[in-house]
Amino acid sequence: SSWWQSVEPAPKDPILGVTEAFLADPSPDKVNVGVGAYRDDNGKPVVLQSVREAERRIAGNLNMEYLPMGGSMKMVEETLKLAYGEQSEFIKDKRIAAVQSLSGTGACRLFADFQKRFRPDSQIYIPDPTWANHHNIWRDAQVPQRTYHYYHPESKGLDFSALMDDIKNAPNGSFFLLHACAHNPTGVDPSEEQWREISHQFKVKGHFAFFDMAYQGFASGDPDRDAKSIRIFLQDGHHIGISQSYAKNMGLYGQRVGCLSVLCEDEKQAVTVKSQLQQLARPMYSNPPVHGALVVSTILGDPELKKLWLKEVKVMADRIIGMRTMLRENLEKLGSPLSWKHITDQIGMFCYSGMTPEQVDRLTKEFHIYMTRNGRISMAGINTSNVGYLANAINEVTK
């Protein structure tokens, strides 16, 4: 008998399990609003035109060599411009320690390991709720977790005063994970004014902000606008960390391409920090995959292709915004007595509907609609063909 005989099956991933159940359902009516991946109005996955063009160019000049430990510096440089700003003095002054990461997940994990190695007694404050994998990531990096208030169930918006209290009550110099935009799963972001207050309070308390930016461009359609939270912290002189991902905004989900960066005091410190980030990456995966990085650097390195990409990001964001309006209008037309204003107030890929786990179970059993039991609807899974069906089902189970 094998030594792993007593190993228990791992719990099912709450998000990926939804897709499994969806695929196993033979119903022609079935709808998947579980996983956060963009779909077009025919419910099909999308490969962007800018990505197709980049692929054509890359195919003519194939190169399968290893990247350096820190990944493609050309990709990293373009990626930093998106987060810190095209004309950022921090980029010019080489004050940012940055490495290519295995998408956003890999950037978060590398940062968590970095935190554990050099601040072994620190903890991380994570919003309640958050993307479930944040808990797994910091757990496996062995960093103790605390939560901070974020969502307000009654208003289905931000619980700003409780959030500010938690920031004030945390020990000075605490680590906080912040969603830069399009908060997952709630679709609720602080306003610009609220970000200023948060940044100010971080300054007072000497907290460290780690921004997870998995949806840059998906909130407003404009990557620059979606980086506002980060820009406010930069203006206020914070030294921050950022996780960036091209999964959603370039549709490069399976390519696993992203970036981890840490803003340092000067170039010397940045070189040191980068060397330690590479040192953490080396025994885990040696160096990151080359292909996705080439796609990104090809697009962002060419002004025409970049323009095309920006247009395509906006098309994706606008389609989702349009579906919010349609879903809300459909529910109101059906005479639902509940308020559905939050559907159009919330932004990004998700709507935190406020439906209970029991209501979600009914949606699945009676209507073949698949989503996570926390009531999160992936707006990207909605289209003009299924929005009416979905609205009717939601109306039935919330009556």
Give the footprint of ligand PMP on this chain (CB under 6 A): 36, 103-105, 131, 179, 184, 212, 214, 245, 247, 253, 258
* Least distance between ligand PMP and beta carbon 265 (Å): 27
Residues recognised as catalytic: 131, 212, 248
CA dihedral sign, ordered 361, 366, 367, 370 = positive
| Of 360, 347, 357, the residue nearest 157 (C-alpha) | 347
Q: Which residues of 177-214 are buried (b: 16+ CB within 10 A; e: fewer)?
A: bbbbbbbbbbbbbbeeeebbbbbeebeebebbbbbbbb
Whether 253 and 51 have beta carbons less than 8 Å apart is answered as no
Between 221 and 348, name the residue whose CB sits nearer to ligand PMP: 348
Q: How far, CA to CA in Å, does 321 sit from each of 167, 221, 326?
A: 31, 9, 9
- Strand 157-158 and strand 151-152: the pairing is antiparallel
C-alpha separations of 125 from 68, 163, 175, 211 in Å: 33, 11, 6, 12
Which residues lie across from 209 on neighbouring strands?
176
Distance of closest approach, residue 317 Cβ to ligand PMP, in angstroms = 15
Nearest CB to ligand PMP, comparing residues 255 and 359:
255
CB 355 within 8 A of CB 33: no
**Shortest Cβ distance from residue 155 to ligand PMP (Å)?**
22
- Rounded to whole angstroms, the Cα distance separating 170 from 125 reads 9
- For ligand PMP, give the closer residue by CB, 179 or 231: 179
User: Contact 243/104 with Cβ under 8 angstroms?
Assistant: yes
Q: How many CB atoms lie within 10 A of CB 172?
A: 8
Indicate the DSSP class of residue 5. T
Between 202 and 218, name the residue whose CB sits nearer to ligand PMP.
Answer: 218
Yes or no: say if 53 and 294 are a contact pair by the CB < 8 Å rule: no
- Give the residue with the Cβ less far from ligand PMP, 36 or 157: 36
**Do 201 and 167 touch, CB atoms closer than 8 A?**
yes
Which residue's CB is nearer to ligand PMP, number 104 or number 190?
A: 104
Whether 358 contacts 366, CB under 8 Å: no
Between 78 and 212, CB nearer to ligand PMP: 212
- Residue pointed to by tokens 């998408």: 103
Q: Which is nearer to ligand PMP, 126 or 326 (CB)?
A: 126
95-to-92, 164, 389 alpha-carbon distances in Å: 8, 30, 52
Phi and psi at residue 255, in whole multiples of 5°?
-80, -20
